[in-house]
Amino acid sequence: MADSAVHTTEAGDDPSRRDFIHIAAIAAAGGAVAAIAWPLVSQMNPSADTLALASVEYDLTKIEPGQQVTINWRGKPLFIRYRTQAQIDEAVKDDSAQLKDPESDAQRHKPGKAQWLILVGSCTHLGCVPTVGGGEYGGWFCPCHGSVYDTSGRIRKGPAPKNLVVPDYAFLSDTKVKIG
């Protein structure tokens, strides 16, 4: 915009000094626009109250062996599965199988708590909620596009690229778990 002004003067004026002031002004305007853009972008991030509600506690005594409960965590389903010994054995056996996203069963539960498998219940393909006990591996089956997970929540068949996600969680006691 300003450069049409720059070519208009008589000789004798140092052109670099003349340019500088216009360039600085335009750069400052650009900087201001960038600074204003940040709050406008940042406001779309989760607000403070949303972040504050991000962890939940759950009492595990309510779950029977072989059963799974689904709770709401950050607006998404969270699977808490009380695995039977047979299901654990099956998962450990497959540690050596050909896996799309290789992970051992031991990496997917807390040490000494192999019976408790806690997973984010959304398919790593496009986010549908897999049904428990479906598919040929006895784990989960996603009805949307046919992804099959085993009893460790690992992807075994279908379009999903990754294993079901294990969230951050900690055992507060033997029967109480805090997720997030």
Partner 1 sequence: MSGHSTYEPKNGVSRWLDQRLPITRLVWDSFVDYPTPRNLNYWWTFGGILSLMLGVQIVSGIVLAMHYTPSASGAFASVEHIMRDVNYGWLIRYTHANGASMFFMAVYIHMLRGLYYGSFKPPREVLWLLGCVIYLLMMATAFMGYVLPWGQMSFHGAVVITNIIGAIPVIGGPILTWLQGGFAVDNATLNRFFSLHYLLPFMIAGVVVLHVWALHVVGQNNPTGVDPKSKADTLPFTPYATVKDGFAMSVFLILFAVFVFYMPNALGHADNYIEANPLVTPAHIVPEWYFLPFYAILRAVPDKVMGVVAMFGAIGVLFALPWLDTSKVRSMRYRPMAKLYFIILLVVCVTLGFCGAKLPDDQVIPGLETFKVMDSDLNSFVWLSRLATLYYFAYFLIITPLLGLIETPKPTPETIASPALSHPATTPAGAAADAEKKG
Partner 2 sequence: MLRKLTVIAAAALTLAAGPALAASHAEEPHDIAYSFEGPFGKYDQAQLQRGYKVYREVCSACHSMKYLSFRNLGDKGGPFYDAKYPNPNDNPYVKALAADIQVPDIDTETGDAITRPATPADRFPHPYPNDFAARAGNGGALPPDLSVIAKGREGGPEYLASYLTGYVTPPKGLTVPAGQYYNAYFPGDLSSGWQTDRAEDKKDPPPHGGFVAMPPQLADDKVSFDDGTKSTAHQQAVDVAAFLMWAAEPKMEQRKETGFAVMIYLVLFAGLLYASYRRVWRNESH
* Site membership for partner 2, residue 21 (CB under 8 A): yes
Count the residues of the shown chain that bind partner 1, applying the rule CB under 8 A. 18
- CB distance 126 to 158 below 8 Å: no
* Site membership for partner 1, residue 34 (CB under 8 A): no
Give the number of other CB atoms < 10 A from CB of residue 76: 14
By beta-carbon proximity to partner 2, the closer residue of 35 and 96 is 35
Residue in 49, 56, 9, 10 with CA at minimum distance from that of residue 168 = 56
* Site membership for partner 2, residue 64 (CB under 8 A): no
* Site membership for partner 1, residue 40 (CB under 8 A): yes
Task: Give the whole-angstrom CA distance, residue 90 versus residue 93.
Answer: 5
The one of partner 1, partner 2, none whose footprint includes residue 44, by CB under 5 to 8 A per kind, is partner 1
- Where b means 16+ CB within 10 Å and e means fewer, 104-114 reads ebeebbeeeeb
From candidates 33, 34, 44, 111, binder to partner 1 by CB under 8 A: 44
By beta-carbon proximity to partner 1, the closer residue of 15 and 102 is 15
Return the ∠ at Cα 52 (arms to 49 and 54), rounded to 5°.
Answer: 115
- Give me the residues that bind partner 1 (CB under 8 A), please: 1-2, 4-5, 7-8, 25, 29, 39-40, 42-45, 47-50
